[in-house]
Amino acid sequence: MEELTEQPSTKQIVLKWGLISGVISSVTSLITYTMGITNSSMTLVGTVVAIVLIIMAHREYKNEGDGYMSYGKGLGIGTLLSLVSGVISSIVSYVYLKFVDASYFDLVRDEQIAQMEESGLSDDQIEQALEYSSFSSSPEFILIAVIFGALLFGFILSLIITAFTKNSDPATEI
């Protein structure tokens, strides 16, 4: 008679690794804000961290269970982990940019102006471009954008990562 292995709690794995990812993302965001980094140099760091943490969550799910993880389960774990991380990171960013240091948006604006001037845009063109982008220069926009961005990015990463980390149970395959 086959012994059934109890499946691990997806919720616990998602919350554990999502919390870890959210803390790491928050720390890197705070470093970015406090050091005045306005370019995307930290994006590579965040991407590598996200990949590693999704792989670790998948590994934990398989190790705590019967060794198997379907593609759908892996996709769900990675996507939900990213959502938890995005919510944590967005709240930290919102609080920092709204109540601690709202001048970060001025720094970003000044860098945008310098880049537009270097590309030869006129003052009128620069002013018009700044008007179009002004809606994205608020802590409220960052709050929403980080959550949706993390969810979308996590979904895409999980689509790719799960293709390599899945281990489907042959007994359930048709």
Q: What pLDDT shows up at residue 121?
A: 85
pLDDT at residue 39 in the model: 62
Question: Does some domain include residue 27?
Answer: yes
CA distances from 62 to 10, 13, 42, 66, 107 (A): 11, 11, 31, 6, 45
pLDDT value at residue 104: 83
The predicted structure's pLDDT at residue 88: 97
Regions of the chain where pLDDT drops below 70 = 1-6, 38-41, 173-174
pLDDT for 33: 84
Burial (CB count within 10 angstroms: exposed 0-12, middle 13-18, buried 19+), residue 25: buried
Evaluate whether residue 127 is within a structural domain. Answer: no
The answer to whether residue 116 is domain-embedded is: no
User: Which residue from 127, 40, 31, 145 is spatially nearest to 86, judged by alpha carbons?
Assistant: 145
Residue 4 lies in a domain: no
Specify the pLDDT at position 23: 97
CB of 168 closer than 8 Å to CB of 67? no
Nearest partner of 21 among 131, 153, 174, judged by Cα: 153
Let me know if residue 72 belongs to a domain: yes
Q: Quote the tokens at residue 120.
A: 């030869």
> 67's torsion region: left (phi>0), alpha (psi -120 to 50) or beta?
left
Structural domain that includes position 149: 10-98+140-165
**pLDDT recorded at residue 173:** 66
- Structurally, how many domains does the chain consist of? 1
Considering only CA atoms, which of 21, 38, 44 is closest in space to residue 92? 21
How high is the pLDDT of residue 2?
A: 47
Report how far residue 109's alpha carbon sits from residue 137's, in angstroms, rounded to the nearest whole number. Answer: 8
